[in-house]
Every structure is written in C-alpha cells, then in structure tokens.
Structure 1
Amino acid sequence: MSDAGRRDPREIEERIGYAFRERSLLLRALTRLAYTLEAGLPPDAHMDALATLGDAVINVAVVEAVVATGAHDKGAITNRKMNLVNMSRLRSLAEDLDLADHVRWGKGEAAQRVWTSGRVLAECLEALIGAVYLDGGMEAAAGVLRRLGLTEKA
C-alpha cells in the first residue's frame, strides 16, 4: 500500500481499545524494514524489534491467562498455549484489524502484496503488541489481547 492509501493509525487504536501515549511507538509498529530503508529513516524506525518483543509478550499473556483458568500441568498449559498462539491465529487477528491497510510497506512488498501469504501479518500484529507493551506495560498488552479475543477463551 502506498502512503497515500494508508488509513489513519487512530483507527487501529480504536479497534484495539488502546490509545498510545507515545504515538511514535505506534508508527514504528506499523513500519516495515524495507520502507525504512527506502525512505532513509533511522535504523531503529522499523517494527522488527517490536515484533520480537511482542511475540514474547503474547506468550506470557497467554500462559498467564491459561494458568488463571486453573491449569497447573505443564504439558496441558503448553498445549493450550500452542492452540491459542500460532501464525494462523495471529494472522487472522491482524486481518480482522485490517492491519495491512495501516502498515508502511516497502515498494517491493507492496507490489508483491506480501501480507497475503505466510507469517508477515502475524509479525505485524506482534509488533503492535510489542508497542502497546512498551507504551503501557503488561496490563495494557494483556487487555488488548483480551479485547482481540486471543486470551478470553484461555
């Protein structure tokens, strides 16, 4: 998607039920490395680190939610976590948010519509959760995941 075609990031805030105090985190979570390189942005302006952080935050929030339901067996907790957190599920949540319409894609990514296959949208959702975590902490990130429906059925 071109910059001109992108939607207002505030729509994402409305959909996830979280308003960023530090809006630059939201913009970073919506910026791909390819876009950063093409636009000459600083090396830390893209989502990659946030996606790594968001992956860990999602895992913690889901395990916490599973344990809160009374689960105590390590194998059962792990199985429930794997059923709740997988690429397909995260990608589906990203699609429900129309996240691809908000991401700043590199020109080649946009031409190839990379968000239509593989793990790309799941990583974008992870970056968004990583940004929420940095902005508002674990409680804010867990709240977003509940509102998205990821942990409500843990």
Structure 2
Amino acid sequence: MATLSSLQSALGHAFRDPGLLEQALTHRSHGAPHNERLEFLGDSVLNFVVTTLLFGEHAEMDEGDLSRVRANLVKQAALADIAQKLSLSGHLRLGEGELKSGGFRRPSILADALEAVFGAVYVDGGYEAVRGVIERLYRPILGNIDMRTFGKDPKTLLQEIVQGRGLELPRYEVLATHGAAHSQLFDVECRIERLDVRVTASGSSRRAAEQLAAGQAIAAIEALGPVRKTARRGRKPAQLSLPVAVAQEKK
C-alpha cells in the first residue's frame, strides 16, 4: 500500500492516530477491523458539513433546492470522483478476491472508503478538522456548478424553462416502438408548439426517451436565443431539425 503521508497531505489533516486512517481504508474483505463503522459515521458527518456549507452560503435556496443539491454532492458518483482525485485506490486494503476483481476501481468501494476517511478525521481531530477537510475537497466543486440547475433532470429543467417564458408545458408522444418485449426501443417526440420546437429521441424505456428528448429541446430553445418581447404576425420561427439520439437507460 502506498505511503499514507501523501494521502494525509492531500486531505490537509495529519492524523495523531494513523491507525484510524488505516482502518478507514480497510475493506471488510481484508479482515477486521474494517471501515464500515467509520463509514457510517462519515456519512452523517459529510451530510451535516455539506448542509452547513450550503445553508450558510446560499440564502436564496429553499429547502427543496438545498436537499437536491446536497443529495447530488454526496451521492456515490460524486464521492468516487473525489476519491479518484485523491488517488485513494492506491491506499485501499482489499481482500484477494476484491483485488483480483478490480475492487480498487469500484465506485461503491471508493465512495465508502472516502466516507470512512471523513469518519476517521472526525474521531481523530473533531468537527473543525473534518469540516476543514470536506470544505477543502468540495470548494472547487461548489465553485463550478450552477445551483439553479445542478442535479435536475432534463424534463424538470425544460418545464421550468418554458414556464419561465410563459409557455404551455412540453408535450411528449411515443411515435413508435421497436424490438422484442424484453429489449424494446421507444421513439418519443417532444414538442413546444409556440416555439415551433419538435425533437425526437430514442431510449430503452419511454422515460429514458423522454429525458433525452427534453435535453434536445433545451438545446433547441437555447439555439433560438433570448426571448423576444414582440414578434411579427404571420412569421413562424424556423423549425429545428435535430438528429435522433439513441441511448440506453441507466440501470
């Protein structure tokens, strides 16, 4: 296992008890003591610190927005990404089976280990120490996201866009289905009549196709430019023809 001094430098916390950090990096497949209890603690600490940061710095956000942004900041994918940037995989202690199966690259193992590290920092140095570590890791992320849209799915964003322009809600229609029952492909059209926007997309479920179509509709609206306060009678905006997007629904 790589030296823990480099990881402590990246975290910005020097452990008084390095054994806590070692335990945080120990998967249960390696043996006891492993990191599951520290992970449990770290999960709670992380949620509280991120909540505190958002609450203190974004007075414009209501409870729903705070919950949405927090959920996306602390989800597995976000934690695994941070763990990769810390090169956490090189410090993990895994059993032989997990090593052979590439467990050091598995997002769930990386995310759990990072939460366990937060728990270990809390036990070792207290709240201010873990707050400093989490804030240091999350500050670049918080500085590069749009709080208004972060974590929202395309259908929700599209609905907010058209409502903000005083337009009717988008309409979705299944144009066709292809394939056998266990592997169907759905062709869905999304249209916004007053903007003359019509786009189609395909997905492995109706929901997936609608989300993809909504994403294309957002791009089409953005391509139209700013909202015009007045428009000449009898002139329709040019209809946009966008390519069909085909994607499989994320499992």
**Structure richer in helix, relative to its length:** 1
Greater Cα offset, 123-132 or 64-73: 64-73
The CA distance in 2 between the partners of 1:66 and 1:136, in whole Å, is: 23
- The CA deviation string for residues 18-76 of structure 1, in whole angstroms up to 9 with x for no partner, is 0001111111111111111xxxxxx4x11010011111110000000011014362212
Which structure is higher in RCO with an 8 Å CA cutoff and minimum separation 6? 1
State the partner residue of 2:73. 84
After superposition, the Cα gap between the structure-2 partners of 1:150 and 1:113, relative to the gap in structure 1 and judged at 3 Å, is farther
After superposition, the Cα gap between the structure-2 partners of 1:24 and 1:50, relative to the gap in structure 1 and judged at 3 Å, is same
Superposition deviation, residue 151 in structure 1: 7.8
The CA distance in 1 between the partners of 2:23 and 2:131, in whole Å, is: 20
Indicate whether 1:11 and 2:6 are aligned. Answer: yes
State the partner residue of 2:173. none
2:35 aligned partner, one-letter code:
M
Please report the TM-score for the alignment, with normalisation by the length of structure 2. Answer: 0.54
Which residue, 123, 126, 140 being the options, matches 1:137?
Answer: 126
The CA distance in 2 between the partners of 1:52 and 1:61, in whole Å, is: 15
1:56 aligned partner, one-letter code:
S
State the partner residue of 2:214. none
The CA distance in 1 between the partners of 2:141 and 2:132, in whole Å, is: 10
Contact 2:90 2:104 in 1 (8 A): no
Superposition deviation, residue 80 in structure 1: 1.6
Identity %: 35
Number of residue-to-residue matches in the alignment? 142
After superposition, the Cα gap between the structure-2 partners of 1:118 and 1:97, relative to the gap in structure 1 and judged at 3 Å, is closer
The CA distance in 1 between the partners of 2:54 and 2:107, in whole Å, is: 27
Contact 2:17 2:124 in 1 (8 A): yes
The CA distance in 1 between the partners of 2:39 and 2:139, in whole Å, is: 17
State the partner residue of 2:23. 28
Superposition deviation, residue 83 in structure 1: 2.4
State the partner residue of 2:48. 60
After superposition, the Cα gap between the structure-2 partners of 1:102 and 1:96, relative to the gap in structure 1 and judged at 3 Å, is same
1:127 aligned partner, one-letter code:
A
Superposition deviation, residue 152 in structure 1: 6.5
1:120 aligned partner, one-letter code:
I
Which residue, 85, 89, 101 being the options, matches 1:96?
Answer: 85
The CA distance in 1 between the partners of 2:142 and 2:96, in whole Å, is: 38
Alignment of 1:108-147 (within 5 A): 108-147=97-136
The CA distance in 2 between the partners of 1:47 and 1:96, in whole Å, is: 20
Contact 1:84 1:150 in 2 (8 A): no
* Structure index of larger Rg: 2
Superposition deviation, residue 105 in structure 1: 0.6
Query: Structure 1 regions of 5+ residues with no counterpart?
Result: 1-5, 37-42
**Structure richer in strand, relative to its length:** 2
What secondary structure is seen at the aligned counterpart in 2 of 1:142?
helix
After superposition, the Cα gap between the structure-2 partners of 1:125 and 1:150, relative to the gap in structure 1 and judged at 3 Å, is farther
What secondary structure is seen at the aligned counterpart in 2 of 1:149?
helix
